[in-house]
Amino acid sequence: MSPELIAPVAAFIADLAGEGIQASVEGLAVVYSVYAVAGALAGTEVPTAVSASELAGWPAVPPHWLHFENTVRFATTNTDTLECLEGWLRHSRDIGAWSTDRPPIVNWLAHVRGVIKDAIA
């Protein structure tokens, strides 16, 4: 990992830890799990990831792509496998306006949970 990415990746992982979520760098991605609170996956821990390269602007700029194991499906999505772990897809998801009224990681986790809510069984 390039030196310019180390600090934002470490900050993202520390922010997740502050919310009780353990994360690790695996290959080119930061992997962690989010508890699904709604939708077809409600009540389960859903592994997810982001590309380390997309964290270069963290916390001012959130990642755009969300990575999920290829068993997590959506009715409509735009996917590819760039910077993904084997067996994973990354999904294009715009977070919209990046709110500054609460900690960035709280906004991020709400976004991820909102995307997971739309997963189909």
For the segment 104-110, the average pLDDT, to the nearest whole number, is: 96
Q: How far is CA 90 from CA 25, 100, 121, in A?
A: 16, 26, 18
Range of the domain at 43: 3-120
Task: For 43-81, write each residue's pLDDT tens digit.
Answer: 999 999 999 999 999 999 999 999 999 999 999 999 999
Residue 106 structure tokens: 């709280």
**Closest by alpha carbon to 91, among 61, 105, 121, 111?**
111
The pTM of the whole model exceeds 0.85? yes
Please give the tally of structural domains in the chain: 1
Percentage of residues of the chain with pLDDT beyond 90: 88
